[in-house]
Structure 1
């Protein structure tokens, strides 16, 4: 029988303490490791982000010609300067908090990131960005491969996904990353509430405290059961976290608050994963400039990240934090007939942190039609990729996580990597 961490915990530890074979995840729980305070928060914008509505070339007449309904008026954008080619750029007007972080030099915007022959499939695109391998989008994620390189003993909370399932990017061969969408529910489960639940836990603890000399497998399970309880207690500390800022009362905001609480508790987690969705905007993307679908997406993104930034600054943890954002693809340049945009190619990556060299990296897309070379990367309706997304990963692995990007990514992508840190 295959038993997952969640099944083990939610099913009641005592039910498994007499098993002859240890569940696979217990090998992780039996190990413990301290680590650097430095951490990485991976942010996935699910659906395919229309970055021409996030980072806007507001002085390009082609932007307005090709998006007569969706284009954001130049007077409304939040101007952030020009790229190295002289293209004037501005942020979506709802990104006021991120504009302040950009002005403080702690937000980097990497334009036109992607890879050759970009997939337009949500599933394959997500797999490719998660594995960092356009040719082989299965197998462990690139951050899972990083976790596999950490010497034993590895802390069972070395990674933390705020989703119900472990995301592909954190799937590893030797390390199990827990999925903790709710800190309150990540606890010893008992059908009986109150004192009876406490009695059940105490009974399971007493049972697992017995270590018979002639049953090494059972002894291993008993020992790791104790470690499981210790892990539950560590996570429970996040429940008592009371931030000095107010987070949005939505899934994204509450997930970021839990991450900040885990950092505050000093749990030793090095890699977090958080996601927010709704970016598959085929229709009604900007029905109006006040509360269209994309404006609401930007509000969720801005308000969550701004609260997270302010919280970490108050805690003195922002310098130890790096936020790395990706989406499975960008969207096409032309708006469609439903006031939306369809699946495209390259997009913008957002990187935020106390060690980030903020600014605009790369150049804005050429919005002029080029019928002489209608390949995917140079068609008249796709944003051509300019920066290989794996070069961004290589920079993060080498200079932030202290890993070996060549070994982890299966190739050398350091050349041309934007100097974001």
Structure 2
């Protein structure tokens, strides 16, 4: 490794790094680097949460192409049997999701159907807060469910940074933790360390003092630097899966790079479609817009799976998608759909059973104009926490939820 790159990494990944930290951070960073220096190669299981901002239309993602109600309610945005990638005699993937269909056929992708919560909230911010806090009574909640899991992981093992957000939008509430600093990462060379609850830049003088501290103490960063350097060399060699040239794919590529670097990170969050209202909010001209987004998601997830599989890492990783709500069964007058309720979640990984979990919801028994949920989203979270990560889900979710059966033993 070059001296320049080693120094670059020792100073928390570069002079261009933006640090938004308080006075407790040097202790955190010292602990992080000291642990990284002596960590053996890990076999810890990893969770990746992918946010589909805006409210993804589940009915045009996993399409009930043989249901008469589907065609009757969506005369201009429906997809017919000869257009979809068929799952079975009733359901099929959107035409633009060939990558997801392949993963499904290979057994690396499962579909949890009819996921939601009682009395769905049609407001983007409120519903996303519910999903990210894992609390129906979200008002006043200061931490996200993954942030609480990260706090418990910090207590349970020696991971230096148990959780990371990969993206360019503001770090989501999902990762708000009480005890742990959760960094935001754009690439493995460009970190933004953010301290709850807000992410705002500190004055340059404070930044200088922190960098001086890091330089003086060195933070035993050599082992971490070597691991990151090996990942960068692999990038340049071209010996990896080919990712499409879209933002969502680049973020998942960064997640794969950080998994490969084996820094002890067990929980990741990223997004496709941006935050807040997000691109999946297709009130108009949905057929083309939604198809383009699903194509980005599909090809990005397929590349991510292929990338991890090449290095025998796929069995350690569980990826799950979520959105704040689904869409209405009936299309509106602008060739789009409005805010609905339940929708499917994708679960992806080497230890996923594949196939369908739960029945496709009825298109006549509705709530808020959309399919009525039959699976509480917190059961999916409980599965990820309890069954996958080995973290007691009760304290994280605030009550006990029975895990689902979509993972192999």
Aligned residue among 308, 314, 337 for 2:310: 314
The answer as to whether partners of 1:252 and 1:275 remain within 8 angstroms in 2 is yes
Shift of 1:12: 8.3
2:160 maps to 156
1:259 maps to 255
Matched, 1:184 2:189: yes
Shift of 1:66: 0.4
1:239 maps to 232
2:379 maps to 391
1:62 maps to 69
Unpaired stretches in structure 1, ≥5 consecutive residues: 1-6, 83-87, 189-199, 210-224, 287-291, 371-376
Compared CA separation, residues 27 and 250, structure 1 to 2 (3 A): same
| Separation of aligned partners in 2, 1:362 and 1:160 | 31
SS across alignment from 1:412: coil
2:180 maps to 175
What aligned pairs does 1:135-146 form with structure 2 within 5 A after superposition? 135-137=137-139, 138-146=141-149
Shift of 1:36: 4.0
Which of the pair has more CA radius of gyration? 1
Shift of 1:365: 2.3
Aligned residue among 89, 98, 101 for 1:99: 101
2:350 maps to 354
Shift of 1:22: 6.5
| Separation of aligned partners in 1, 2:93 and 2:271 | 21
The answer as to whether partners of 2:29 and 2:219 remain within 8 angstroms in 1 is no
SS across alignment from 1:76: coil
SS across alignment from 1:28: helix
Shift of 1:27: 3.4
CA RMSD of aligned residues (A): 3.0
Aligned length: 364
| Separation of aligned partners in 2, 1:281 and 1:22 | 40
What aligned pairs does 1:177-216 form with structure 2 within 5 A after superposition? 177-186=182-191, 204=212, 208-209=216-217
Unpaired stretches in structure 2, ≥5 consecutive residues: 1-10, 194-207, 274-278
Q: Deviations 1:52-80 (Å, cap 9, x if unpaired)?
A: 00001111111111000000111111111
Q: Deviations 1:256-312 (Å, cap 9, x if unpaired)?
A: 1111111222222111111011101011111xxxxx111101110111011111111
Shift of 1:231: 6.2
| Separation of aligned partners in 2, 1:157 and 1:136 | 26
SS across alignment from 1:44: strand
SS across alignment from 1:29: helix
SS across alignment from 1:72: coil
SS across alignment from 2:320: strand
Matched, 1:166 2:171: yes
SS across alignment from 2:76: coil
Compared CA separation, residues 177 and 45, structure 1 to 2 (3 A): same
| Separation of aligned partners in 1, 2:71 and 2:300 | 30
| Separation of aligned partners in 1, 2:215 and 2:70 | 68
Q: Deviations 1:180-237 (Å, cap 9, x if unpaired)?
A: 113333399xxxxxxxxxxx99x9479724xxxxxxxxxxxxxxx6368976776565
What aligned pairs does 1:11-410 form with structure 2 within 5 A after superposition? 23-32=23-32, 33=35, 34=39, 36-81=43-88, 88-137=90-139, 138-150=141-153, 151=155, 154-164=158-168, 165-186=170-191, 204=212, 208-209=216-217, 226=219, 238-242=231-235, 243-277=239-273, 278-286=279-287, 292-368=288-364, 378=367, 381-410=369-398
Shift of 1:31: 2.2
Compared CA separation, residues 99 and 174, structure 1 to 2 (3 A): same
Compared CA separation, residues 25 and 78, structure 1 to 2 (3 A): same
| Separation of aligned partners in 2, 1:359 and 1:8 | 42
| Separation of aligned partners in 1, 2:118 and 2:163 | 30
| Separation of aligned partners in 1, 2:87 and 2:298 | 16
1:194 maps to none
TM-score, length of structure 1 as denominator length: 0.79
Compared CA separation, residues 241 and 159, structure 1 to 2 (3 A): farther
Shift of 1:127: 1.0
| Separation of aligned partners in 2, 1:207 and 1:37 | 31
